[in-house]
A and B are shown apart, each in its own frame.
Chain A
Amino acid sequence: MNTIILKTASKYLLPLLLLFSVFILLRGHYLPGGGFVGGLVAAIAFVLHAFANGLPETQRLMRIHPGFLMPVGLAIAFLSGIFPMLFDLPFMTGMWKKDPIPVIGSLGSALFFDIGVYLVVIGSSLTILFTISETK
Chain B
Amino acid sequence: MQLSGLIITLIFTFISLFILALALPSARVNSRRSALSFLVPFSAFCVFAFATPSTEQVISLWESNSLPFNISFKYDGLAKLFSLLITGIGTLIFLYASAYMKNTKYTQRLLSFLLLFMGAMLGVVLSDNLLVLFLFWELTSISSFFLIGFKNEDDASQKSALQALSITGLGGLAMLGGFILIGEMAQTYSISQMLSHTDLILEHPWFVPALLLILLGAFTKSAQFPFHFWLPGAMKAPTPVSAYLHSATMVKAGVYLLARLNPIFSQSELWFILLTSFGGLTMLYAAFQSLYKTDMKAILAYTTVSALGVMVFLIGMGGEQAIVAVSLFILVHALYKAAFFMLAGTIDHETGTRDIRKLSGLGKSLPILFGIGMLAAWSNGGIPPSIGFVGKDLIYESTLNFQKFSYAPYILTAISWLTNSMLFAAGLLVGYLPFRKSSAPSHPDVHKPSLMLWLPPALLATMGIVFGVFPILVEGSIVNPVATAIAGVSIKTHLVLWHGFNTVLYISLATLSAGLILYLFFQKKTPNWVTVAEKYGPRQALHGIANSFISFSAWFTKTMQNGKLRLYLLVILSVLGSLLGYVVLRETTFVIDPQKLSEITIYEGITVGILITSIFLTLFSGSRLAAVAAMGVVGYTLCIIFVFYSAPDLAMTQFTIDTLTVILFVLVLYRLPRFIRLDFSPRHILDGVVAIGIGALMSIISLEVLHRSPVREISDFYAMNSYLLAKGKNVVNVILVDFRGADTLIEIVVLSIAAIGVYSLLKLRLRKNEKME
Contact = CB atoms under 8 A, between A and B. Distances in A.
Interface of A: 24, 28-37, 40-41, 43-44, 47, 67, 70-71, 73-74, 77-78, 81, 85, 88-92, 94, 96, 106, 108, 110, 113-114, 116-117, 120-121, 123-125, 127-129, 131-133, 135
Contacts of B649: 32-34, 37
Contacts of A32: 648-649, 652, 730, 732
Interface in B720-740: 725-730, 732-734, 736-738
Interface string B42-86: 000000000000000000000011100000000000000000000
A23 to B, nearest CB: 12
A61 B725 CA distance: 41
Contacts of B652: 24, 32-33, 37
Contact of A77 (B659, B733, B734, B745): B745
A94 B726 contact: yes
15 contacts: A30-B729, A31-B729, A35-B737, A37-B649, A47-B663, A71-B752, A85-B64, A88-B64, A91-B742, A94-B725, A117-B736, A117-B748, A127-B759, A129-B663, A131-B758
B754 interface: yes
B748 A120 contact: yes
B749 interface: yes
A127 B755 CA distance: 6
A130 to B, nearest CB: 9
Interface string B567-584: 000000000000000000
B733 A33 contact: yes
Contacts of B664: 128-129, 132
B706 interface: no
A37 B744 CA distance: 14
A interface majority secondary structure: helix
Given A32-B648, A117-B737, A132-B762, A74 B660 contact: no
A85 B64 CA distance: 9
A96 B648 CA distance: 26
B741 interface: yes
B737 A34 contact: yes
B685 interface: no
A73 B737 contact: no
B657 interface: yes
Interface in B642-679: 648-649, 652-653, 656-657, 659-660, 663-664, 667-668, 671
Contacts of B64: 85, 88
Interface of B: 64-66, 648-649, 652-653, 656-657, 659-660, 663-664, 667-668, 671, 725-730, 732-734, 736-738, 741-742, 744-745, 748-749, 751-752, 754-756, 758-759, 762-763
Given A67-B759, A74-B748, A128-B758, A114 B663 contact: no
A37 B653 contact: yes
B596 to A, nearest CB: 27
Given A31-B730, A33-B652, A47 B660 contact: yes
B66 A131 contact: no
A21 B62 CA distance: 42
Nearest to A110: B737
Contacts of A30: 728-730
Nearest to B758: A128
Nearest to B754: A124
Contact of A114 (B737, B742, B752): B737
A107 to B, nearest CB: 10
Contact of A129 (B66, B660, B752): B660
B733 A81 contact: no
Contacts of A132: 664, 667-668, 758, 762
A15 to B, nearest CB: 18
A113 B728 CA distance: 14
A73 B748 contact: yes
B748 to A, nearest CB: 4
Contact of B737 (A24, A71, A113, A133): A113
Contact of A28 (B733, B742, B756): B733
A121 B729 CA distance: 23
A41 B755 contact: no
A135 B762 contact: yes
Contacts of B744: 77, 113, 117
Most buried by A among B652, B671, B726: B652
Contacts of B727: 29, 94, 96, 106, 108
B759 A44 contact: no
A33 B653 CA distance: 9
Given A29-B727, A117-B736, 14 more contacts: A28-B730, A31-B729, A32-B732, A34-B732, A34-B737, A40-B657, A40-B660, A67-B756, A78-B745, A92-B741, A94-B727, A124-B754, A127-B756, A129-B660
Given A44-B660, A94-B726, A110-B726, A70 B752 contact: yes
Given A40-B656, A124-B751, A34 B730 contact: yes
Most buried by A among B657, B671, B736, B737: B737
Contacts of B671: 135
B65 A29 contact: no
Contacts of A85: 64, 66
Contacts of A29: 727-730, 733-734, 737
> Considering the complex of A and B, which 7 residue pairs feature the smallest CB-CB distances, nearest first?
A124-B755, A40-B656, A32-B648, A29-B728, A127-B755, A34-B733, A120-B748
A51 B729 CA distance: 37
A91 B725 CA distance: 15
Contacts of B730: 28-34
A116 B728 contact: no
A16 to B, nearest CB: 16
Given A29-B730, A40-B660, A128-B664, A88 B66 contact: yes
B421 to A, nearest CB: 58
A81 B668 CA distance: 38
A136 to B, nearest CB: 9
Contacts of A40: 653, 656-657, 660
A40 B652 CA distance: 10
B729 A129 contact: no
A120 B741 contact: no
Contacts of B738: 92, 94, 110, 113
B745 A89 contact: no
A73 B751 CA distance: 12
Given A30-B728, A40-B660, A124 B742 contact: no
Contact of A89 (B66, B653, B656, B736): B66
B66 A90 contact: yes
Nearest to A70: B752
Contact of B728 (A78, A110, A120): A110
Nearest to B757: A128
B741 A110 contact: yes
Nearest to A40: B656
Nearest to A66: B755
B26 to A, nearest CB: 23
A47 B725 CA distance: 38
B758 A81 contact: no
Contacts of B726: 94, 110
Nearest to B744: A117
